[in-house]
Structure 1
Amino acid sequence: MEVRHIKQPTRGNNTNNKDNALVNEGITARELLVIDDQGEKLGIIKLQQALKEARDRELDLVVVSPDSKPVVAKIMNYSKFRYDQQRKLREQKKNQHVVDIKEIRLSPTIGQHDIETKANQAMKFIEKGDKVKITLRFRGRMIVHSQQGYAVVNGFIEKLGDTIVIESPAKMEGRQLIATIAPKAK
């Protein structure tokens, strides 16, 4: 015995509705508080009458607030409304910046020119809005000269000037001296 599932046809404009908005025949409420395309309240109207009103204007009836009593619906061009919402989401994604933590590695015996080069790189990270983790690793017996490491890290931070905020000052973690800086709030 073979069982076949027959897909039920959907009604109205609700066929390609990915965001699950209640539109036209997909609305289940019997009475709606209807707002027209100009923003005027038409009052509490039965569903069939509201659908007729929307069809007469060649627009869609879209539920705006399904949880309220009575359900609030608006007469609008649904495809334009959905396009505008998607455009706003794209703009928000484009304008949003994820703060990364970039790492700059130093050594206790680093040369002056190398510090300047790394400071320039750190400034580029700060200008982009990223945080910078400064790591100075002690190798072998260099750990005995930890004061020299503190001097290197603090000198590096001073080179960056007043465009930064020190999130965590230099502190020892095992064989590493670590400090974290961030851009100043605008």
Structure 2
Amino acid sequence: MAVLLNRLMLQTSVGRCFRKHIMKPAPAQLPLTASTPKLWYLVSTEGFSTAEDGHGQKKQKRKDAFTNTGRKISERVIRVLDEKGSDLGVMHRADVIRLMDQQDLRLVKKNTNSEPPEYQLMTGAQIHQERLRLREDEKASPKTGPAVVKELVFSSNIGQHDLDTKSKQIQQWIEKRYHVQVTVKKKKSADQPENETDEILNQILQTMPGLATFSSRPKAVRGGTASTCVFRPLSRKEEKAYRDSQEAERRDTLNTDHRTTESDVLCQ
């Protein structure tokens, strides 16, 4: 009996040691938020990014190309034009500033590449009007890139009313600075004039004086069964040349009428 009791005590002691050293309790699981340390330096620097971060990048304010230089004249000696465009000659910047103060004028850069650099005195109203003109020119100027080409195809037996409608549509596209390719198909008739399609294209151009010209002149296509051309808007230089020619023609007409009137008076 004593031997059995000792054996039970020994088994109990061994079991306790086994559970104590082998079956250790699992450590408490750390919370997920503690498993990965926060990178505070990444969070704090993101808000201060101005160049690499698209959201934090500062937008550069657009500088007007036509601005008042004020009293900050970097050059010591400059050429000066008055508010009417007359040349005042070469002046020291101190004299220019004194002249600005006396006449309440502003100073605007005209040509800084010349020697000496050229500036002009202008009133505030003149500067405002010039800025408006430059903005209108910028809006009206064609965008960079290939020109947008519109296309029209119709037959040479088109009626005058329909031709007028087509011409107005072409003019609207030209005013939007589009190029317009027009193809006129010859009607199937033996008595049709050889150059009838070319005459129709020239007639369309005559409806847009001072607006358009040929980008490519009328030429035969489709084996001679049609004629095509491309109209384009006039450039700024061409528009100015057209206005100048019209003004010169108007003056010539007025001078001719004036001489005719004087001749009639003398004859009486």
- 1:168 corresponds to which residue? 219
- 2:115 corresponds to which residue? 69
- 1:122 corresponds to which residue? 163
What is the TM-score normalised by the length of structure 1?
A: 0.52
Contact 2:201 2:218 in 1 (8 A): no
- Tell me, in whole angstroms, the C-alpha distance in 1 between the residues paired with 2:81 and 2:195: 65
Contact 1:101 1:133 in 2 (8 A): no
- Tell me, in whole angstroms, the C-alpha distance in 1 between the residues paired with 2:101 and 2:133: 26
What is the TM-score normalised by the length of structure 2?
A: 0.39
Structure 1 residue 18 displacement after superposition: 0.9
- Tell me, in whole angstroms, the C-alpha distance in 1 between the residues paired with 2:189 and 2:113: 62
- 1:47 corresponds to which residue? 93
Q: 1:149 to 1:93 in 2, by over 3 A?
A: farther
Structure 1 residue 65 displacement after superposition: 1.8
Which residue of 157, 163, 167 maps to 2:197?
157
Deviations along 1:77-122, whole A, 9 cap, x unmatched? Answer: 144234145337637977x9x996541246xxxxxxx9445x6433
Structure 1 residue 157 displacement after superposition: 3.1
Question: Of Structure 1 and Structure 2, which has the larger fraction of its residues in helix?
Answer: 2
**Which has the greater radius of gyration?**
2
Which residue of 27, 40, 45 maps to 2:73?
27
- 2:136 corresponds to which residue? 90
Give the secondary structure class of the aligned counterpart of 1:25.
Answer: coil
Deviations along 1:115-144, whole A, 9 cap, x unmatched? Answer: 445x643343346476522369xxxxxxxx
Structure 1 residue 155 displacement after superposition: 9.8
Q: Unaligned 5+ residue runs, structure 1?
A: 6-14, 107-113, 137-146
Identical columns (%): 13
Give the secondary structure class of the aligned counterpart of 2:104.
Answer: coil
Tell me the number of residue pairs that the alignment of Structure 1 and Structure 2 aligns. 152
Give the secondary structure class of the aligned counterpart of 1:51.
Answer: helix
- 1:25 aligned partner, one-letter code: R
Q: Unaligned 5+ residue runs, structure 2?
A: 1-40, 51-60, 175-179, 206-216, 232-241, 243-268
Contact 2:109 2:120 in 1 (8 A): yes
User: Which structure ranks higher in relative contact order (CA pairs < 8 Å, sequence separation ≥ 6)?
Assistant: 1
- 1:66 aligned partner, one-letter code: T
Calculate the aligned-residue CA RMSD, in Å.
5.0
Structure 1 residue 170 displacement after superposition: 4.0
Q: 1:105 to 1:92 in 2, by over 3 A?
A: same
User: Where does 1:104-143 land on structure 2 (aligned, <5 Å)?
Assistant: 104-105=153-154, 115-117=157-159, 120-126=161-167, 128=171, 132-134=182-184
- Tell me, in whole angstroms, the C-alpha distance in 1 between the residues paired with 2:200 and 2:49: 70
Structure 1 residue 16 displacement after superposition: 8.3
